Structure 1
């Protein structure tokens, strides 16, 4: 196997911020175990081995070459080295593997010149992939995903259709969640109940204030971390239809009563002094440090928080994940997720072999290899159980909730031509303005409606 691998650095998977969106089905109680679900979901994929040397017949792809380009971040390169070598052996092919933390810079010249790699493993929000999406330069994978769709988290392929026209332009790989974290020991010590509604959350804020603590801290330098609360709460308030309306810049969507009720929750936290003073100036690590030092009851972050705070948290600190409270009692609770992706360029020299490699990655034995070597969770049914022994307890508990009580959500913003507006910045910088008392909820709503009017005119045709 020919391999180009440059300067691998351990980057946090959570640093890959994802655009977010709406809802999947939760697993009904009493169904098969997570491992059984994964095994059943991959049965169809196992049949692809009929093209390999193991079947006793010559591979239909024997002697061909596949160019693979993979991002080398938090998950390292061991998995890619191993799975590519295995693919070479089983299919009697040659794999030319390029993996680097600077993957975008490395592959950009070949992409621009019309000679891209055959297969790319790079998150869809990265500049080079975003450009390929806007230029319609990715292959439609609809004809191949049927062979492993049952393996994936229910509904996640809905969010792999950036043009929302039924074409699947990428498939999900590793995933994680955003949300609200708490100290289990604190809740046991104070005999506090976890809040399930906004009213219960605000009532807890008063108890926290009496203990000299803030209710909530967030990184104002990176206010987008609040997507873990805001998008999940909006999904609870209006389901997939509401998140889709938001993602499509629908006129009047921010003026809906159910949306205002969610935004008002932030206003009430501000008015009651429940947000830690100085939050707007904190980075993510600073906000998380304030949290583990007991300055705030809750902190918004991603499922990597325990690993990231390993050196800062007091000994014995036990992280818990709080399902985002809802505006009204009884509403379905959601968790906002992000995921990385696999792509095949439309100009790939060997698209059929690339499709075979894509199916190969979702095969049961290779999913198990992935779990062992990356210690990260793939966006598959039972993924949390598959990787349980390799991940932190809090991360496992968090992702396990997505197999049971919580429904994942993700806002899939409709593509637009280039404008002066960055919608995620507009949305979440407004929280800082709210906290600084430079804006109220009505101003927040007005800003979003004005931005949406511009973006509706710029929707990519």
Structure 2
């Protein structure tokens, strides 16, 4: 692992902390483990004759049950894809909810799940636990099937890089399909920066200078959803990778001893703590939901918010016409960074899976194949202002400002992409323990050293817990 020149900047950060700390946020219940088992590879459905048009042998009258997370993307895109399913097969029973876990966990345990689940949001089920209990159908046959638009091209070959890998959990099997291509970063208003006569900050000194200029105008530098503090990881993790290199993030994912005590992690935590110590975080942020913090941001009370590319759609109702939404790569530390400024976290998100015990597994697979068709992918982008994992689906489309910006920084990053598997390999560790430590630090309740100790203790406890399946970067 790397250490060295950036430590001088860390020393400066340590010496600059001041008063003005915020209150600790309340933490919501974010996850729990699943239990119970599924029955059979195809649930209760019998497969009919297969063809290029019907590669899974879905029966002509096979009904389908779909449950969609009703979050930033809403559910209209799924309703439209369901209409395409109903043109050829049975009817669709559609449910939208923000309470995925509480609604579906009992049904998973009882062996009576829906056919397709959009397992997203703060109440998503622990996919690793479901896989361990053999409750999730392997999607390999979907990936190897003819694509909807060209029978000579497999579904696998229509997907963006990283999509298949994000569905794998320590084996060749693929258990989930992440549909949206999320670009994470520091979201901002170009109009707001122009009013301050400022450029987007590339180094941490530039970030602090900009935040101070904003404060003089009565504007906070940052806000964030303290109720869901893992949002900070959308910029904190790539910041760590930018400072110390991608191997630091991989060590965190691998639960390596003392990985959280790496100099790059400490430097990043101290930089973020400086935002709080100097009073650059919007007062009240620790107690805000994602929607509340986004509204504070779109109404101009803070410059930056850590978020993903779903935010343009999710915050559309409160976004002024002249806001000119944009996203930038996480601000770097200084010239000693191991990776270039344009490095960012971009990866497939919004995970779908087909339960192993579903009544209509073939229909679930066909529904996902429909969603991966060009028509559904373009419809998704038009409706919710987000990219999908379908290659080339946005060609020729006119995109809104935020999505245009996300596409631009994704292109500029090239191969300088980083990601973290903690959110899906170890959901509770990421959302509750690490998220809680970062939340307490950003609320001024603890300092960086204690936050790091809490993260390391939680990672060690996860590593030593034999009931939790472990995964490794290879």
Would the aligned equivalents of 2:222 and 2:303 in 1 still touch at CA under 8 Å? yes
- Number of matched residues? 405
Q: 1:423 to 1:181 in 2, by over 3 A?
A: closer
Q: Offset at 1:50?
A: 5.2
TM-score between the two structures when normalised by the length of structure 2: 0.71
TM-score between the two structures when normalised by the length of structure 1: 0.73
Distance of 1:306 and 1:373 partners within structure 2 = 11
Would the aligned equivalents of 1:195 and 1:204 in 2 still touch at CA under 8 Å? yes
Say which SS state the counterpart of residue 303 (structure 2) adopts. strand
Distance of 2:314 and 2:346 partners within structure 1 = 19
Q: 1:384 to 1:244 in 2, by over 3 A?
A: farther
Post-superposition CA distance 1:188-220 (Å, at most 9, x none)? 233322112223222333433444443222233
Distance of 2:403 and 2:167 partners within structure 1 = 24
Correspondence 1:36-435 to 2 at 5 A:
51-52=52-53, 61=58, 63=60, 65=62, 67-71=64-68, 73=70, 78-87=76-85, 89-90=87-88, 93-101=89-97, 110-123=107-120, 126-127=124-125, 132-146=130-144, 147-161=154-168, 163-310=169-316, 312=318, 316-329=322-335, 330-335=340-345, 339-348=349-358, 351-352=361-362, 354-371=364-381, 376-383=386-393, 385=395, 388-389=398-399, 392-405=400-413, 409-413=418-422, 422-435=429-442
RMSD of aligned alpha carbons = 3.8
Say which SS state the counterpart of residue 135 (structure 2) adopts. coil
Would the aligned equivalents of 1:69 and 1:103 in 2 still touch at CA under 8 Å? no
Q: 1:193 to 1:274 in 2, by over 3 A?
A: same
Number of the residue aligned with 2:449: 442
Would the aligned equivalents of 2:220 and 2:301 in 1 still touch at CA under 8 Å? yes
Q: Offset at 1:313?
A: 5.1
Post-superposition CA distance 1:95-121 (Å, at most 9, x none)? 543433266666556533334444434
Mean alpha-carbon deviation: is it higher for 247-256 or for 183-192?
183-192
Q: Offset at 1:456?
A: 0.6
Distance of 2:273 and 2:383 partners within structure 1 = 44
Considering fraction of residues, name the structure with more helix: 1
Q: Offset at 1:393?
A: 2.1
Q: Offset at 1:431?
A: 3.3
Distance of 1:217 and 1:60 partners within structure 2 = 50
Distance of 1:212 and 1:108 partners within structure 2 = 46
Distance of 1:456 and 1:59 partners within structure 2 = 39
